[in-house]
Amino acid sequence: MKVPFVDLATQHASLQPALDQALLQTLRGGHFILGPEVEAFEKEFATFCGAAHGIGVANGLDALRVALMACNIGPGDEVILPAHTFIASAYAVSTIGATPVLVDVQRDSFLIDPALVARAITPRTRAILPVHLYGQPADMDALLDIARAHKLRVIEDACQAHGALWKGKPAGSIGDFGCFSFYPSKNLGAIGDGGALVTQDPELAERARRIRNVGQRAKYYHSHQGFNSRLDELQAAVLRLKLPHLHRWNESRRQAAGWYAEALAGSGVETPKVLPNRTHVFHLYVVRTADRNALQTYLKSAHVDSGIHYPVPIHLQEAFADRGWKKGAFPVSEEIADTILSLPMFEGLDQPRVRHVAATIAASGARR
Ligand SMILES: *Cc1c(COP(=O)(O)O)cnc(C)c1O
């Protein structure tokens, strides 16, 4: 039995006639940028997120950049984010000229540690950028308390958490902005790049809307310095077709996670924990073992795909060598990077395949 890491073909086949029709309709409609599909998707996605406003952009990294810029964050400003995340979380800050300030994550959740956030605040801190990593929301109450006390913005990196909940509230709807990616393999994926921001604040929404469209308030009248980062009509048409299925797809991922937890009990690998107050949407199913590299090699030989998200923490990435961050600075993130392995996870992953993956892990003799 082969088990792929993700399987989009099955999902797309289930929507095939509708997808074909939507693509053809967009082609023939002749409206390709900021047209009716984007406008409708922005409203539908905001509603899905329990937010008042939605703004489509070209990708998740840009969603984060636009959010920070809409909050007037730039050179000289510090933004606090976790050391264990995808590089885009940090690039969003560094590429607009602001300063990323890293803190370590909590060992049992992989999520930003609010106690460390409080200690990293300086007079220059302007925002906290929590990442709802792997599909599980960070502790938003603790982070909002800190933000209120210090008058900071909260920009949620919800690029892996479409539909996840914190105390019943959708990820992305809680801070000043929630930022999403529709990279094809995300829980809600386009057939190319795409992204969106959601917010409750009409002024922030209007600023973001202008910044993503060359800072334009009316055609050729530019009120803000911005850039070109628009979601295109084709992607919006596809996302509109997929969005009504997202809750069901997330439920399928949660079910597969339950099967994994059952099948991997006593196997020697540590399974992910769902913390209180959260609904986890399992963008990734990440286990831990001291024998990570050996386990991955064994799985590969048995035709079970796996991944490492991510093998190098932000502070040790070559791209940030000039920052002076040292090995040992964020020990939990470093330990995580050395021991994590992401197992196959996608909507429609069935119990026989989960059991096969677990049996393969058991046969590998992995230990903690
Ligand atoms: C995918 C992702 C992004 C960036 O999204 P792109 O659309 O690839 O730019 C940012 N942060 C996290 C945590 C992600 O997983």
Mean pLDDT within 161-187: 98
Q: Whose CA is nearest to atom 2 of ligand 1?
A: 159
The gap between the terminal CA atoms of the chain, to the nearest Å, is: 26
The pLDDT score that the predictor gives to residue 367 is 66
Report how far Cα 308 is from the mean position of its chain's Cα atoms: 15
**Ligand 1 mutation pick, 159, 188, 235, 308, max ligand atoms within 8 A of CB:** 159
Ligand 1 atom closest to the CA of 132, numbered from 1: 13
Ligand 1 atom closest to the CA of 59, numbered from 1: 7
Which region holds residue 244: left if phi is over 0, alpha if psi is between -120 and 50, else beta? alpha
The pLDDT score that the predictor gives to residue 368 is 56
Residue 297 has pLDDT above 90, yes or no: yes
Cβ 134 under 6 angstroms from ligand 1: no
Q: Whose CA is nearest to atom 5 of ligand 1?
A: 60
The pLDDT score that the predictor gives to residue 365 is 83
Rounded to the nearest 10°, the torsion over CA 244, 246, 248, 252 is 160
Cβ 57 under 6 angstroms from ligand 1: no
pLDDT by residue (tens digit) across 216-272? Answer: 999 999 998 899 999 999 999 999 999 999 999 999 999 999 999 999 999 989 999
Mean pLDDT within 211-217: 95
Residue 92 has pLDDT above 80, yes or no: yes
Are 78 and 124 in contact by the 8 Å Cβ rule? The answer is yes
| pTM score of the predicted model | 0.98
pLDDT by residue (tens digit) across 326-362? Answer: 999 999 999 999 999 999 999 999 999 999 999 999 9
Residue 23 has pLDDT above 80, yes or no: yes
Which region holds residue 167: left if phi is over 0, alpha if psi is between -120 and 50, else beta? left
Paired with 270 in beta bridges are 288
**Ligand 1 mutation pick, 93, 131, 157, max ligand atoms within 8 A of CB:** 157
Cβ 250 under 6 angstroms from ligand 1: no
Cβ 61 under 6 angstroms from ligand 1: yes
Mean pLDDT within 69-95: 98
Cβ 92 under 6 angstroms from ligand 1: no
